[in-house]
């Protein structure tokens, strides 16, 4: 009985550590780079996303998609972009995120990662883009339908968001 209790306790601690490591991989990337002058940083809170989803400028489907988001963070750099891309790819992969899709075209590398997936719904969707000119890291959190998320690329008009349409064509 004591061995069973210790086994259950160890499994619970391991599950907690894995969950903590997943969120820390992305959080650490953003935290490390937000104060770096070589990076542009955008963070949109749940409250701001709620305001955007209520605006009259978006159609009903885009409003629904935006309402399902709890946050959006974007990092962009033009200084040593491939170095950042490769470093971020490694950290995200080691953080326990699942690679959904990887595309290499015209000198650009695009990778989608996710965590917390239940069918087509994910808790976090990561978009990482790298080429010789720049690197972009985007983190979407919420209840994200990966079949519909591509529609908000145009709504946000953020560089790199146009790559979301690749998920729809997977």
Instruction: Kindly list the strands in the beta sheet with 121-130, ordered across the sheet, starting from the edge strand earlier in the chain.
Output: 39-44, 69-77, 135-145, 121-130, 108-115, 98-105
Q: How confident is the model at residue 58 (pLDDT cuts 50, 70, 90)?
A: low
Q: Give the CA count within 13 Å in the CB-facing half-sphere of 144.
A: 25
Give the angle 145-73-116 at the CA atoms, nearest 5°: 40
98 pLDDT higher than 80: yes
79 pLDDT higher than 90: yes
Which of helix, strand or coil describes residue 126? strand
Q: What is the mean pLDDT of the chain?
A: 78
Task: Look at residues 33, 103, 24 and name the one whose alpha carbon lies nearest to residue 74.
Answer: 33
Model pTM score: 0.77
pLDDT for 134: 94
């Amino acid at each position: 009985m004591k061995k069973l209790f210790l086994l259950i306790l160890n499994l619970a601690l391991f599950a907690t550590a894995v969950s903590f490591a997943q969120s820390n991989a992305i959080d650490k990337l953003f935290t490390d780079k937000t104060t770096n002058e070589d990076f542009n940083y955008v963070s949109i809170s749940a409250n701001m996303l709620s305001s955007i989803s209520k605006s009259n400028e978006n159609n009903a489907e885009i409003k629904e998609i935006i309402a399902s988001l709890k946050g959006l963070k974007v990092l962009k750099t033009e200084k040593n972009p491939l170095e950042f891309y490769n470093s971020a790819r490694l950290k995200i992969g080691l953080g326990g995120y699942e690679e959904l899709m990887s595309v290499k075209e015209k000198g650009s590398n695009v990778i989608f990662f996710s965590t917390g997936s239940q069918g087509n719904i994910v808790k976090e969707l990561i978009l990482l883009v790298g080429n010789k000119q720049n690197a972009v890291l985007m983190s979407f959190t919420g209840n994200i339908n990966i079949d519909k998320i591509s529609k908000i690329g145009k709504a946000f008009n953020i560089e790199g968001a146009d790559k979301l349409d690749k998920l729809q064509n997977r």
